[in-house]
Amino acid sequence: MTSSLPPSPSPSVLDLAPVVPVVVVTDAADAVPLARALVAGGLPAIEVTLRTPAALDAIRAIADGVPEAVVGAGTVLSPVQVTASVDAGARFLVSPGWTDALLDAMRASGVPFLPGVSTTSEVVALLERGVREMKFFPARAAGGTAYLKSLAGPLPHARFCPTGGIDAASAPDYLALPNVGCVGGSWMLPGDVVAARDWARVETLAREAAALRDGR
């Protein structure tokens, strides 16, 4: 099976930073200063989730205004959202799960993508389709580090970005696993800090998250 798997896209989203901030933007005007704070703190890969009406405008604003950021779209659920996200400037795509139609659309988009999995069978199905990099979601509820560790032996080609229930305290345990490239989380974006537009605090929290690489 090893020889049948194509090389992963380069550079990989999983290798840009130890943490990919998962961002929910309610006001597109906040997108650029928020992204600048994250990048300044050492977290260039930014996943803007498609959970709000402002999400696509936020992706577009970051793509245009913060070129040093690698902005992506998260919670991608349909081929229509794939097209809209890439048109807005998304440089990678993340889904909480996948179907054949969604996978085909993400593959055809031309940008890196992380389809979501939570079971061994889903991982095997993606490997069969030549996909080696995946989102493991919801990480804590689906078995956490113990589950991912158990996948490393039989499925060594699969690499993961676990997301869901991960915080600054648990992230190092995930990052220590050989099949984890990075983790996704939002702990560096506390609701009250973002509401106050305290971008200096966001930068400080981002810098602390970026330093988790040293503990891997």
| SS3 call for 36 | helix
157 neighbors 2 (Cβ within 8 angstroms): yes
Tell me the β-bridge partners of 21: 185
In the numeric block, which tokens belong to residue 208?
A: 């602390």
The structure tokens listed for 41 are 């703190």
Q: How would DSSP label each residue in 33-46?
A: HHHHHHHHTT--EE
Q: No. of H helices and E strands in the chain?
A: 9, 9
CB neighbourhood size of 111 (10 A): 17
Residue 154 carries which DSSP code?
A: T
User: Within 10 Å of residue 81's Cβ, how many Cβ atoms?
Assistant: 21
The 19-23 sheet, strands edge to edge: 113-114, 93-94, 70-74, 45-49, 19-23, 183-185
Looking at this protein, which amino acid is placed at residue 167?
D
Catalytic residues: 47, 135
